[in-house]
Structure 1
Amino acid sequence: MRHTFLCTGHTPRLTDVVRAENCRLWTSEGRRYLDLESGVWSTSLGHGHGAVTAAIEAQLHELVHTGYCYYHPVVDRAAAKLLDVTGIEGGKALFLASGSEAVELALAIAAEATGRRRFITLAGSYLGAYGMASRTAADQWIEVDWEGDEGLGDLPLEEAAAFVLEPGSSSGRVRFPPRALVEALARRVREAGGLVMANEVTTGLGRTGEWFGFNHYGLKPDLVAIGKGLGSGYPVSAVALGEVWRRVDLGHFHYAQSHQNDALGAAVALAVIEELERSRLVEKAREDGARLLAGLEAIGARHPVIREVRGRGLMLAVEFVPADGPSRALRVAEALFERGIILVRRPGLEILRLDPALTVAREDLDEFLSAFETVVGGLG
């Protein structure tokens, strides 16, 4: 990668992957790897799924890119399907190109609808790579320490445009806030005239064993930001809006982006959602995730170097007891890589995270569990 600027914070290990199928990658020399991170937690249907490639090929022959005054009918069909699976009635949706952009636009819409410029979120949430969502300035964000003993206290709810919930990723740590707290925050913010927004970029579309992470909390958000798995590797994201869209003055509020509501992205999003429904992949994620969690917990019970295993659906994390020497998580990740299994250690943390495609084969999960126990057992 002599000419490519890499700044992700992760070390590139493979620079010659030339073929991929579901959770398998092949290098130019024929070496095979098992991808249990689904790229960047994005290939919900695995690499190269037929439904996605067929949708792309078909749309390429019709219309790829739209302007501000002309659209392809697939955009509205995809919006309707997205609103259907989110459970939002009387709403609207639009398509963008990245999850961070979707979060940023949803925040801007919430601010416009309420006339407020501050937001409430849970401490440790990851909301975006840039813009307002990437900052925690006190004049914009009110953070709730949900692991402390302070409770909700005297929060300035009257200043909050929205309670922004990240329902489980927690900056890659895979931690799940308690339902009672989430319900209380959502209720109090709404009573004070604010909105409820869900950041489902990572947790949405079956990843947690439900269609969306907010389903685990019994919420009906006013705004939902969606990304990653929506395109199963293709760069498309979305914002789904409830009745809040009626409170936005379109004579004043404008957002125009070059690839907003592009036909190709919408076609991919529609194909992904339809395949999730057709193959019952949300249910599969719930079942496979429970099986994988049980397997990891059993390994943890036999190996005290594992501090905790956390998971919901096919979003799981293994946290290790810190060592005096080199990182245990890093040593395990490197040993698994040598065995042809790709997991990513969270930078600076003793955590390995698993987010395989929802289409992952169960024999692949069994292969991982066997290799993982062997490697962990050799840590000493």
Structure 2
Amino acid sequence: YVTTLGHCHPKVTEAVRKYAGIMMNCHDFTSEIKTRLVEKLAEILPGDLTGFQFYDSGTTAVEAGQRVLRAATGKHEFLSCFHDFHGKTYGAVSLGHIRSFVYGPCRAPGMHMLPRPNTYHPMFTRRDGSVDTDKYIEFFDEYIDKATVHNVAGFVLEPIQGWGGSVMPPEDFFPKLRKYCDDTGILLMADEVLTGWGRTGKWLCMEHWNVVPDVVSIGKGFGNGFPVTCVAVREPYKESFESISASSSYGGNPMACAAALASTEVIEQENLLARATHLGELAMKRMEKMKAAHPIVGDVRARGCLMGIELVKDKDTKEPFDEAGKLVYQKAFAKGLAWIPAGHILRMSPPIVMEDQVLLKGLDIIDESIGETEKELGC
């Protein structure tokens, strides 16, 4: 999920080592390496995303993005989606599915949760059973009218839900959401901490739908494991940084900027956006065979190197099979596959530098583990 380029890529390692010997930290002042990174970001990111501020964790970047939305609009409420995940500090956690009482008795004030289109578990459908995105947008509009105080600064959501189970949106969702936000004066923020920087075969996952968000949070693979994140803002709103106390003790230090720039250059030089796309297509072919062969595999999905296998008790009812997910995870881990602990959705986010045979070996282990689980549970 973090080391997109694999562990200790030599070019990233060397860049960090070099700047550790020049200057480790200069608070939030401009440095030569930060200038080069900013110039590179302005070059490769879509649209007019030209304002940048750097941080040291994803949740910090998300909360900075929230402050930008408030400063740019003069409003304070936020919309997000069921099963989203945006971090573990109070503002960010209030935008997602709260899993623990330790975050307090309520969300932060002004935080609203909405359903989002899920092609496998649609809430609103057309007559043919397909997802009806327009109905979701209509519901958003009614909710905002009835449940908010009409002070919505932004809609914050993941392009593809990670913690929620590698949930892919229908192809028309983000273009329609972008239009709805434009029509209603609500800014759109994409949390690309997981999905960005080559993970799905694009710099930003939102590029798959030709949508430019107003604010973007970037992290994880951005520095290939070095703690560096970024908030990118469109040209009309970038001066909002001036009013949010945007500086950071550690964000944007020379080592961090060196790691981010080196990671970016590696993706370009090694043509890794195309590589991630290829691996996703390869994985889908293999997982479709698993779906056909196993009664408990209800759905498979992949966008580049962000993948998911959903386990169900019955393919018609689509009832989640959490017990099976836990067993598959444990059996595959015992066979040498290091991956994310699972409920009923097996989540995968392998390095985009992975060789074909390594990816297929990992999927073979999962396939074998699913078969063993089916026998153990009598499926």
Q: 1:141 aligns with which of 91, 99, 111?
A: 111
- 2:71 matches 1:116: no
Alpha-carbon distance between aligned partners in 2 of 1:86 and 1:142, rounded to the nearest angstrom: 29
Is 1:127 matched with 2:86?
yes
RMSD: 2.2
1:10 paired residue number: none
**Comparing 82-91 with 235-244, which one deviates more in the overlay?**
82-91
What percent identity do the matched residue pairs reach? 27
Other structure's SS at 1:177 match: coil
2:92 paired with 1:92: no
Deviations 1:275-310 (A, max 9, x none): 001101111000011101210110121111212112
Contact 2:153 2:186 in 1 (8 A): yes
Equivalence for 1:315: 306
In the TM superposition, 1:1-380 aligns within 5 A as 41-68=1-28, 70-89=29-48, 91-136=50-95, 137=107, 139-146=109-116, 147-149=122-124, 151=136, 152-153=138-139, 154-156=142-144, 158-248=150-240, 250=242, 252-322=243-313, 327-346=323-342, 349-379=343-373, 380=375
Give the partner amino acid of 1:339.
K
Is the CA contact (8 Å cut-off) linking 2:3 and 2:225 kept in structure 1? Answer: yes
Q: 1:244 to 1:334 in 2, by over 3 A?
A: same
Alpha-carbon separation, structure 1, partners of 2:86 and 2:286? 31
Closer/same/farther in 2, CA of residues 335 and 95 from structure 1, 3 Å limit: same
Are 1:329 and 1:352, in contact at CA under 8 Å, matched by a contact in 2?
Answer: yes
Count of aligned pairs between the two proteins: 336
CA distance in 2, matches of 1:119, 1:113: 13
Q: Which amino acid aligns with 1:148?
A: M
The alpha-carbon deviation at position 139 of structure 1 amounts to 4.3
* Structure 1 Cα separation of the partners of residues 51 and 353 of structure 2: 29
Q: 1:88·1:241 contact (CA, 8 Å) conserved in 2?
A: no
| Deviation of the 1:325 alpha carbon | 9.6
CA distance in 2, matches of 1:86, 1:208: 15
- Mapped to 2, the partners of 1:352 and 1:249 lie a distance apart of 38
Aligned residue for 1:248, secondary structure, equals helix
AA paired with 1:143?
M
- What is the distance in 1 between the residues matched to 2:364 and 2:59? 36
Alpha-carbon deviation of 1:169? 2.1
Gap runs ≥5 in structure 1: 1-40
Instruction: Provide closer, same or farther for how the CA distance between residues 373 and 179 of structure 1 changes in structure 2, counting only shifts above 3 A.
Output: closer
Whether the 8 Å CA contact 1:94–1:261 is kept in 2: the answer is: yes
Task: Letter of the 1:327 partner, please give it.
Answer: E
Further displaced range: 324-333 or 299-308:
324-333
Alpha carbons of structure 1 residues 71 and 371: separation in structure 2 relative to 1, 3 Å: same
- Rounded to whole Å, the distance in 1 between the matches of 2:321 and 2:232 is 47
Distance 2:180 2:59 in 1: 26
